[in-house]
Amino acid sequence: MKGNGTVPLNELVATLRAVAEPSRVRLLVLCFRGELTVSELAQILGQSQPRVSRHLKLLCDAGLLDRFREGSWVFYRLSAGGAAAALSRHLVAACDESDETIALDLQRLAAIKRQRAELAAAYFRDNAAQWHRIRSLYIDEREVEAALAEIVAAAAPHDLLDIGTGTGRMLEILAPHAGNALGIDQSREMLAVARVNLERAGLANSMVRLADMYQLPLADASFDAVVIHQVLHYADRPDAVIAEAARVLRPGGILLVVDFAPHGLEFLRDEHAHRRLGFADADVAQWCRLAGLEPDAPRRLPGEPLTVVIWTAHRPAAAAGSLAAPGRARVSAGAPAVERVLDR
Ligand SMILES: C[S@@+](CC[C@H](N)C(=O)[O-])C[C@H]1O[C@@H](n2cnc3c(N)ncnc32)[C@H](O)[C@@H]1O
């Protein structure tokens, strides 16, 4: 590839050859919509895994797809950079979604995603009451909580959002440093536990609501701090979660993502529904940048066997004279963001 994002003729023809087959175009269309495993892709295409693997290899060799291994699972996603990545996005955009084959693929993909969501929801339902016990199996959280409280206290947010609030633990720790705090979660059972905890803690400035982290029922630029604590490893599209969090962040606002550094503890996947075995700093930084945020240096809290990482990123402050949101000041026009959340 050249510096200006174009490719030499021979390379372009080779890339087009790699994709010039119906199954491979279908794979591109599917991988555009999320990170998928070979077995999921084989299930959707109705083809054997070895056959699908051969197609995937050709697409990876041509730079159209990225492949990454996590323990025993291998994921495929549309490649993130380079001229081939731009080309694959053009090809996906040009593909008619109402085509019979593509429409069926997308229906099957939706069914697989529903299945995944049901599995995760069932897990959380079964574990709502014991969640505090489960997390204590991994690491001592007190150090993490103190570090987060320090960061949020310095930011002094008017409106704070806790994505995947679970039992509301982050709200208990962080809401005292915010004007108003909202926790969202997709699990009614978790929210029931959170409500009890918030009441017990006397946190009058906090509320929780049922919502999906991929589609927050919240206005753009309506929070000064957004926290995603031990949630991202359940996401099949962590980049989309970060993009959605960034969308609701005001200029000058801060995003805090807390999760594990890459690890090999497969049992977390098998027994605790983790989809990702930790995250690389470079991936989180890239997702933040793509979402318009400026990543800071990550802070690592090593533990045995898991290391917790706190990744923070800021939305650049609005230029003087623009319609700036209140930023990190404790002043905000109109009703607090948490009161504008859709009631369900
Ligand atoms: C491991 S718990 C973490 C809870 C909390 N952040 C904490 O650290 O105590 C993960 C939470 O993410 C929630 N979650 C998972 N997928 C979600 C989604 N798509 N939208 C909203 N919440 C989700 C689960 O219901 C669960 O409560």
Please give the number of the atom of ligand 1 that sits closest to the Cα of 258: 8
Average pLDDT over residues 102-123: 85
Question: What does the pLDDT read at residue 256?
Answer: 98
Mean pLDDT computed over every residue of the chain: 86
Tokens, residue 218? 């919240």
Q: How far is the CA of 28 from the centre of ligand 1 (A)?
A: 30
Higher pLDDT, 112 or 170: 170
CA gap 163, 156 in Å, rounded: 18
Spacing, Cα 120 to ligand 1 middle (Å): 10
Give me the percent of the chain exceeding a pLDDT of 90: 58
Check: CB of residue 35 under 8 Å from CB of residue 76. Answer: yes
pTM above 0.85, yes or no: no
Closest-CA residue, ligand 1 atom 10, reads: 231
Nearest protein Cα to ligand 1, atom 11? 164
Note the pLDDT of residue 118.
Answer: 78
CATH class of the 131-339 domain in this structure: alpha beta
Percent pLDDT > 70 in the chain is: 85
Q: Where do the domains of the chain lie?
A: 9-95, 131-339
Whether residue 4 is predicted with pLDDT greater than 60 in this model: the reply is yes
Q: What is the pLDDT of residue 190?
A: 82
In this predicted structure, the answer to whether residue 282 has a pLDDT above a threshold of 50 is yes
Q: Quick one: angle between helices 38-45 and 22-31, nearest 10?
A: 130
CA distances (Å), origin 140, targets 135, 143, 275: 8, 7, 22
Query: Rounded mean pLDDT of 173-189?
Result: 94
d(CA 272, CA 275): 9
Architecture field, domain 9-95: Orthogonal Bundle (1.10)
* pLDDT tens-digit map of 296-338: 999 999 887 889 999 999 999 975 544 433 333 333 333 445 5
| SS3 of residue 226 by DSSP | strand
Q: Between residues 272 and 163, which one has the greater pLDDT?
A: 163
Q: What's the pLDDT at 329?
A: 35
| pLDDT attached to residue 322 | 42
From residue 3, give the alpha-carbon distance in Å to each of 7, 80, 217, 248.
9, 16, 40, 34
Tell me, in angstroms, the distance from the centre of ligand 1 to residue 118's CA.
Answer: 14
